[in-house]
Chains A and B, each alone.
Chain A
């Protein structure tokens, strides 16, 4: 039973990391109706920027601020060069534009900062917390727990921001109807710059945590792919959904990895390692069939 809990907690905590990436998707989708395929690339860019600045001799706090500035500039440029020209275009065109953006960033970021994989030390160590290990006999990583704390704080702030501030409300309004938002004088350009800036910040947090854990390397861009099942589970428009979705995906894939193979071996011959790799997608598929808007997603409101 201890082992079960250890797997479960480990899974939940690693799920938080997925949530962080998913959060970036949700923000941009909520505020502009754009499914931003480039979110993974943004995570990569943010992490690379931090490492790059540190290599140039900047202390970590300065590197983080500089990286944030890079993300803001990136957001502004994206709005100027890409999104401004695409107001009122169909969602699929916008989506395609972000795919292009993703490729561009994946190419441009290494050009800027170099492409060799590097480690990132943010002062958190991936080691068991002695207190929990002694009392319950369960290994809980200090790093994972800190990551979870950071994610929780981030989500709380974002949720409050969307629900109770003037700008947050405007962001949700823009997500619902560009044209109507324009007609009442909400400047779409400012809103988009703002939301890409916020998404850039989330990407920065995600990038630093992922980078510290797995190293800053090109594979970070694929972290975004795991965010897809998270989004399908949690709903594309829900900040809490991104978190809960991440937790479910993280926990279920780790549990499946441990407990499914013995069961399956009883029925079929073969080697069932690597379930972790595909299990989330199967789960997402099931969800698409049963509850396409996700656990917390907004139902599409249609008046007949």
Chain B
């Protein structure tokens, strides 16, 4: 494991301390996950299917309860305040908003109506609202073109943009972005990540980003955490992770030792790392 963690690099903004999440009172999904997101940074949460990435994000945004999940141990703090017991609405007001996996646009609302619902929790005047909307359209010019289309009839990329734009309408300090690359063409994925970086740099929005597409995520993120089976198994600066041999082999599919049988590799590495 590397020694450089996000926590030592900058004061923590969002911090998750050793949380345990149980679904339906019996299914233990997160087994003590700790991570930090410093202000103004992009932190990537990586790992395979079922590793607990989405669950971690939902634990923060508190959407867990609607899925019969529960944080049973540990604490979650945002700007030094405990936020574990806030409703999603209160959390949005506090500046943390989640963009869900699979986009979840309101299919029968137009793109513009989708965006406007994002400002529901905000006490914005009509003029402010218009400004915010214009700003979002600036980041996503494509949405402006399609503003009058029903969201359900737009492309996957446009829907992803709509979902992010909708979150931006709440003028958040931090976005929990779940699997933005899901089901999108590589070009669109790049486009969306470019916008994420832009938002991060120009609007100072911090991101906690759950992603299976490790390669892309690590190119845009500042830090990375790798989850496996509900535990953080590795963490570090994005460049470090990118050059780490194990990560390369597992998640990037690159290896210096030539091609090996997948089965063999898995065994060998698993023993080396998790049993040690």
Question: Which residues on A are within 8 Å of B, measured CB to CB?
Answer: 87-88, 166, 169-170, 172-173, 175-187, 237, 298, 301, 303
Chain A's interface: helix, strand, loop or mixed, by majority?
Answer: helix
User: CB within 8 Å of A: which residues of B?
Assistant: 61, 63, 66-67, 87-93, 97-100, 104-109, 113-114, 116-118, 120-121, 150, 152-153, 156, 163, 166-167, 170
Docked complex Cα distance between A179 and B65 (Å): 11
Question: Closest CB of chain B to A248's CB: distance in Å?
Answer: 24
B63, B66, B106: the one contacting A172 at CB < 8 Å is B106
Question: A183, B107: Cβ atoms under 8 Å?
Answer: no
The answer to whether B120 touches A184, judged by C-beta atoms less than 8 angstroms apart, is: yes
Given A301-B152, A303-B156: A180 in contact with B89 (beta carbons within 8 A): no
- Which residues does chain B contribute within 8 Å of A177, judged by CB atoms? 104-107
* A187 vs B92: C-alpha distance when bound (angstroms): 11
A178–B88 alpha-carbon span in the complex (Å): 12
Is A184's CB under 8 angstroms from B92's CB? yes
Point out the residue from A88, A182, A298, A301 that lies within 8 Å of B88, measured CB to CB: A182
**In the assembled complex, which residues on chain B have CB atoms less than 8 Å from the CB atom of A166?**
116, 120
Q: Which of A166, A170, A182, A301: most chain B Cβ within 10 A? A: A182
Q: Is the CB of B109 within 8 A of A176?
A: yes
Docked-complex contact A184 and B152, CB < 8 angstroms: no
Nearest Cβ in chain B — how far from A18, in angstroms? 25
Closest approach, in angstroms, between the C-beta of B192 and any C-beta of chain A? 18
* Residue in A180, A184, A187 whose beta carbon sits within 8 Å of that of B87 in the complex: A187
Known: A172-B113, A182-B89, A185-B91. 17 other contacts (CB 8 A): A88-B67, A169-B116, A172-B108, A172-B109, A177-B106, A180-B100, A182-B66, A183-B104, A185-B88, A185-B92, A185-B97, A185-B121, A186-B89, A237-B108, A301-B150, A303-B152, A303-B156
Is B106's CB under 8 angstroms from A186's CB?
no
**Inter-subunit contact B109/A183 (CB<8 Å):** no
Note all chain A residues with C-beta closer than 8 A to B108.
172, 175-176, 237, 298, 301
Please give, as numbers and ranges, the residues of chain A lying within 8 Å of B118 by CB-CB distance. 184
Contact indicator A184/B166 (Cβ below 8 Å): yes
| Best-surrounded residue of A88, A179, A180, A301 (most CB of chain B within 10 A) | A180
Instruction: With a 10 A CB-CB cut-off, give which of A180, A181, A184, A301 has the most chain B CB atoms.
Output: A184
Q: Tell whether, in the assembled complex, residue A169 and residue B61 are in contact, meaning their CB atoms are under 8 Å apart.
A: no
In the bound complex, CA of A237 to CA of B99 (Å): 27
- Residues of chain A with a CB closer than 8 A to B100's CB: 179-180, 183
Residues of B within 8 A of A301 (CB): 107-108, 150, 152-153
Q: Which residues of B contact A181 (CB under 8 A)?
A: 106, 117
Q: How far is the CA of A170 from the CA of B116 in the complex (A)?
A: 9
Task: Given A183-B104, A185-B170, check contact A173 B66 (CB 8 Å).
Answer: no
Q: Closest chain B residue to A180 by CB distance?
A: B104
Bound state CA distance, A169 and B90, in angstroms? 20
Are A184 and B156 in touch, CB under 8 angstroms? no
A179 close to B89 (CB less than 8 A): no
Q: Could you list some 30 contacts between A and B, CB below 8 A? A: A87-B66, A88-B66, A88-B67, A169-B109, A169-B116, A169-B117, A170-B117, A172-B106, A172-B108, A172-B109, A173-B109, A173-B113, A176-B106, A176-B107, A176-B109, A177-B104, A178-B66, A181-B117, A183-B61, A184-B92, A184-B97, A184-B167, A185-B92, A185-B93, A185-B170, A186-B121, A301-B107, A301-B152, A303-B152, A303-B156
